[in-house]
A = this chain, B = another copy of it.
Amino acid sequence: MPSLNELSCIEIVQGIAAGTFTAEAVTRDCLERIMARDQTVHAFATVDPEHALAQARALDRGPHRGALQGVPIGVKDVIDTVDLPTEMGSPIYKGNRAACDAACVAVARAAGAVILGKTVTAEFAGMFPGATTNPHNPAHTPGGSSSGSAAAVADLMVPAAFGTQTGGSVLRPAAYCGVVGYKPTFNLINRSGIKFAAESLDTVGVITRTIDDAELVTAAVIGKEPARLTMSSAPRIGLCRTPLWDTAQPETKHAVEDAATRLAAAGAAVREIALPEEFTRLFEASRETINNYERSKSMAGDWASNGERISKVLGDRIKLGMAMRHEDYLAALRLAEDCRAKIEHAFEGLDCMISPCVKGEAPLGLNPTGDPAFQQFWTVLYGPSMSLPTHRGPRGLPVGLQVVARRYDDDRLFACARWIMAKLGLV
């Protein structure tokens, strides 16, 4: 029998329901893994072992609470928790205590989750990294900004963790760490109690080791039963290289093309998707304009009170945002809305698209946390996106494949992702 920290969320829920083991035993194994490994991985900003065990014991003693009964979950440190500090990856928030749980945490807790600890975030979910290392090789970045959430899941410390994605902060670390990163349709998971980076882009997401687990956690948090759809026939898949294709490294180009070839061989109707001209301007509009403008507002209070304790990389973005002409911001919003309408048309006749997820494998060093371009391209389009751990690069580090679907078509995205992993021989 494996250590309980290696189990999936679904295995944990089933094992506890069957009386095979207790929530306390699961939590204890996760804590032991953290104790053994976190000096190297630095996935957690805060863990309170006694409090985690107390939560688990209360679950074991009490009635069944819900679909996440006994599942230990890590929470990115920009997401409020009532019982643990929320420090934002910034010295400004050292010891900061939120007045109540963020929505996603409260609902997960009410469904039986054990909130195991807070995971390291890049400063304010931006680009200035924390101490987390890549579990596959500590000399490499785990990606960011949900660095600790991805590393903790990849390193078997927790089966699931919450992250947030403004550019690529869920999918990129998931891809670099070789796990499943899922960014739902914009606003599907309520954002109350998260520190905004850029509020028209920020999305709460989930990092897990299996597709089914990502669906289980998300379904519990939004208040539905998991749809657990599978494809009744081979899917129609768009191959979308995006206008950023030429910036991808060979391992990413290989991952996308290899997947396309093998999925077509498995019966999928795969066709190349060319996007209209506006999409060439979309990444810059979202990264440089929407992001910087909204950042300068979301950080205005911290900037005024504690500007000297904000990193230069973030401070520079705040200053750019403050100086931005409002009409340029509105023009970027309009471009984004125009592209959102056009991507609906591009999805006609398709079940999903596959696309590059990261430029290549995780770069050497902890700073920077990698390039968000391919993830951000899809974030701004508001549909669901997922990173699947399908390929490896020249150094043996993971390279994800991005699968995307149309807005609100999250159930179908899960079905396509299952089909893709099966046909690539990975489940």
Contact = CB atoms under 8 A, between A and B. Distances in A.
Given A96-B99, A305-B82, A327 B224 contact: yes
Interface in A327-351: 327, 330, 333-334
Contacts of A96: 99
A297 B196 contact: no
Interface string A301-336: 111111000000000000000101111001001100
Contacts of A93: 99
A80 B301 contact: yes
A244 interface: no
A83 to B, nearest CB: 9
Interface string A178-203: 00000000010011110110011000
Interface in A65-118: 80, 82, 92-93, 96, 99-103, 105-107, 109-110
Contacts of A296: 223
A105 B297 CA distance: 10
Number of identical monomers bound together in the oligomeric complex: 2
A192 B297 contact: yes
Interface centre among A297, A303, A304 (most CB of B within 10 A): A297
A294 B189 CA distance: 10
A408 interface: yes
B107 A300 contact: yes
A324 B223 contact: yes
A274 interface: no
A54 interface: no
A222 interface: yes
A367 interface: no
A298 interface: yes
A326 B103 contact: no
What size tier do the contact residues of chain A reach? 35 or more
Given A190-B294, A298-B192, A304 B99 contact: no
A110 B304 contact: yes
Nearest to A321: B223
B82 A301 contact: yes
A22 to B, nearest CB: 23
B193 A102 contact: no
Interface string A213-224: 000000000111
A190 B110 contact: no
Interface centre among A110, A190, A302, A327 (most CB of B within 10 A): A190
A339 B297 CA distance: 30
Contacts of A101: 300-301, 304-305
A301 B224 contact: no
A293 B187 CA distance: 13
